[in-house]
A and B are shown apart, each in its own frame.
Chain A
Amino acid sequence: MYNIMTKKEYEKYAEKIAPKSNIVRNTARAFVVGGLICVVGQIITNFLKSKGYDMDDTSNLTALIMILIGIIFTGLNVYDELGRFAGAGSIVPITGFANSIVSPAMEFKSEGFIMGVGAKMFVIAGPVLVYGISASVVIGIIYYLLNF
């Protein structure tokens, strides 16, 4: 019945039979893993606060430690395994940002330490910084115009 199909028809057919329940399963996994990673961040935050660090130091140190965790687990080849299971649950937290820096850099080490490691570190982190920083400048200028 489905023997004769154009490419378009096939794509439509494939989309139709692709299991919908996967979205529910994937979303549940992302929720749990992403939530747990954030709980780790909260544990670090609460610990630093209890040690008397002020708000700025606490948030800076928490970011630093979370990034370090993401980097170490990526180096040990654990984080990418987690990513296969958790999807966005491991991509969206800042540990995933760290992973996006180390993972391609390790892989392209054979292309040298400048264009391999140095450049590939920013395959994903580059765009994030470009758009994040640019957005903050634009919003900052608007904020200035509205308030001063």
Chain B
Amino acid sequence: MMQNTFMTYLGAFIVGGIICAIGQILIDKTKLTSARILVLFVTTGAVLGGLGIYEKIVQIGGAGATVPLTGFGYNLVKGTMKEINQHGLLGAFTGGVKAAAAGITAAVFFGYLASVAFTPKAKR
């Protein structure tokens, strides 16, 4: 059991590290801005999710695959496909945001509170 727990951490570290390293190489090599990187990653995650490839990465990496923004794209598509299975084509419009609802709502709500409550440090 201890062994298994350790393996989940190792998998998360390596897979998450590799995904972030790919992002850094793209930034350094192509001068892509972070907004473009994030859009690229969420879209890539969605496509790999649709192809059934990202599922395998999640099996190896656990949170290492779900925590990076590619995992957000994967989660959107996973929810979409699940909802299509139950409700047909309508699911294409309900499943994605439904699956990502907790993350989106938390980001908006807590993000708003924090933006109001905190002040940025003076730029150096």
User: Do A and B bind?
Assistant: yes
Residues in A lying within 8 Å of B, measured CB to CB: 22-23, 26-39, 41-46, 59-64, 66-68, 71-72, 74-77, 87-89, 91-98, 100-103, 105-107, 109, 113, 117-118, 121, 123-125, 127-129, 131-133, 135-137, 139-144, 147-148
> With a CB–CB cut-off of 8 A, which chain A residues contact B35?
100, 123-124, 127-128
In the assembled complex, which residues on chain B have CB atoms less than 8 Å from the CB atom of A30?
Answer: 17, 20-21, 23-24
Nearest to A117 among chain B residues (CB) is: B115
Residues of B within 8 A of A64 (CB): 102-103, 106
Q: Is the CB of A113 within 8 A of B81?
A: no
By size class, the interface of chain B is 35 or more
* 29 CB-based A-B contacts, threshold 8 Å: A26-B24, A26-B27, A28-B21, A30-B24, A31-B18, A34-B20, A38-B68, A41-B12, A41-B67, A42-B9, A42-B62, A63-B106, A67-B107, A67-B110, A72-B114, A91-B34, A96-B34, A105-B112, A106-B118, A123-B35, A127-B39, A131-B39, A132-B43, A132-B76, A132-B96, A132-B100, A136-B46, A140-B81, A140-B95
What residue in chain B is nearest A118 (Cβ atoms)? B112
Contact partner, A143, options B16, B63, B84, Cβ 8 Å? B84
Q: Which chain A positions have C-beta within 8 A of B24? A: 26-27, 29-31, 87-89
Q: How many angstroms between the C-alpha atoms of A103 and B114 in the bound complex?
A: 10
